Structure 1
Amino acid sequence: MSRRCELTGVGPMVGHNVSHSNIKTKRRFMPNLVSTTVQSEALGQSFSLRITNAALRTLDFKGGLDPVLLKARDEVLSPRALKIKRQVKAKLAEQAA
């Protein structure tokens, strides 16, 4: 399973542990991933996604899954999130017509 957020695309970063004697050893900073179920208002169903804690806070701030997906770039979304985004766009276009 990939250690990558499905909404923001955040993955592991690389850095150094620096000792008191200034010796640098490689380390990885892992994203804080949580498996959560989020609700889509447009589709009326819930989806299980593996997202970072920061993305979860963004969902609360922006007002749910639909606004976040519609503003997100396709390159950063996972294939599952991209599929949900297409469904949301189609449903909103259907409601507008």
Structure 2
Amino acid sequence: MSRRCELTGKGPMVGNNVSHAKNRTRRRFLPNLQDVTLASETLGRSFKLRISNAALRTVDHRGGLDAFMAKAKDAELSTAALKIKKDIAKASA
């Protein structure tokens, strides 16, 4: 399972653990991913997605999955999310 958000494309970053003596060892900063079920009002069904906590807050702020997908960039979305976006756009038009 990939450690990448399906809606924002957020993935692991790399950096250093820095001790008090300034010794540096490499580490990974992983995104806070959650398995959630989001409902689409336009399509009348729900979708299981693995998204970051920040993306979940953004979906709530924009007013749901349909509103989020309307503004989302295609380059950031996963293939499953891109298919959902196209289905929503087709159903609303």
Q: In structure 1, how many angstroms separate the alpha carbons of the residues matched to 2:14 and 2:70?
A: 30
Instruction: Provide the alpha-carbon RMSD of the alignment.
Output: 0.5
> Which position in structure 2 is the counterpart of 1:20?
20
Cα shift at 1:70: 1.3
Cα shift at 1:61: 0.7
Percent identity between matched residues is 61
Letter of the 2:71 counterpart: K
> Which position in structure 1 is the counterpart of 2:29?
29
Letter of the 2:16 counterpart: H
Cα shift at 1:73: 0.7
TM-score by length of 2: 0.98
Letter of the 2:55 counterpart: A
> Which position in structure 2 is the counterpart of 1:39?
39
Can you list the C-alpha shifts for 1:2-57, whole angstroms capped at 9, x where unaligned?
Answer: 10000000000011000011011100000000000000011010000000011111
Corresponding residue SS for 2:83:
helix
> Which position in structure 1 is the counterpart of 2:59?
59
Letter of the 1:38 counterpart: L
* Structure 1, gaps ≥5 residues long: none
* Structure 2, gaps ≥5 residues long: none
Q: In structure 1, how many angstroms separate the alpha carbons of the residues matched to 2:61 and 2:70?
A: 15
Cα shift at 1:67: 1.0
Q: How many residues align?
A: 93
TM-score by length of 1: 0.94
